[in-house]
Structure 1
Amino acid sequence: MAISAASSSAPMGEINMTPLIDVMLVLLVMFIITIPLQTHAVKLDLPRDCSTCGTIDNLKNKVVITQDGQIVWNGTPVTLDGLKYNLIRMTSIDPQPELHVQPDPTARYEVVNDVFVAAKRADVRRLGFVGNEAYRSF
C-alpha cells in the first residue's frame, strides 16, 4: 500500500499487484520445470539385411517348393519372410529378372499359394513355371 503524507479517512481503492505477479511467475516457472520433456520420436522397425536369404541373380531366380513345404531360393532354403524380402529386392532391379517357380507335385497347396501371394504383392511381372513337362501324364 502506498504511503501518503496527507491523512485521509477514505479507504484506499488500489491493490499492490507486484506480489501477485511474483507469485504467478514462480508458479509458471514451477509448471515449466515439472512438465516432462516431450520427445518427438517415432519408433520404427527398419528392415535389416537378410544374411540367410541367398543371392539375387540379375537375369533369373528360381524358387523351388519341396514336398515337405520348404521354400528354396536359388538353392538356399529360406523362410516365407526371407522370400518376401528377396522378391522385393528382385523387383527393384531394372529390368526386372525372371522368377521361375518349380513346385513339387506333392507340395501342399497352402505353401504354393503363399509363394504366389508374396510374388503378387511384390509386383513380380516376369513369372514362369519350371518343370511343367512332369505333369503331362498327370
Structure 2
Amino acid sequence: MSLGAGRPALEEFGQLIRLGEPVRTVRQAAKAVGVDESRIIKTLVVNCGGEYRAYVLRGVKKLDLERLGCRMATPEEVLSVTGYAVGGVPPVLPIPVYIDRELLEEEYVYGGGGDDHSLLKFRPLTLVERGVAVPIDL
C-alpha cells in the first residue's frame, strides 16, 4: 500500500484513543491505558545519509543507531518528513517503516496517535499485511 503524500486516517489501522492528559513517556502511556510498559511501542525517525526511515519497536527497547548507520532525526526533521511532532509519531507514515519482528507476536500494542494526547491501539501484524511496515530483527 502506498501512502502517497497525504496522511491516511489512523483509524484505518486501529483504535485512536484520546487522552485527557498528555503522555510523553512509555510509563505515562502504559498508565494511561492500563497495560504493561512492554505493550507500548515507539516510532523512531532516523536519518540515514539523507534518507529518512522509521523504526517501530517496544518503548523499553533501544535502537542501535550505529549498527544501522543512522542518526536520530531532529524534531524539525521529524515534523518535516512525517507531518507529526516528536512524541506523537504514529507507526503509519509516508516514509519507509520497519517494525521489530518480535512485535508481530503481540495481539495489540499502543503507540503514538498523532499528538501527545492520543494513542493508537493496533495489531502490529496489520501494518505488515497492509504493506505499511516491513518486519526486521532489531
Q: Shorter-chain TM-score: which interval?
A: under 0.3
Greater length-normalized contact order (CA 8 Å, ≥ 6 residues apart): 2
Name the one with the larger strand percent: 2
The structure whose Rg is larger is 1
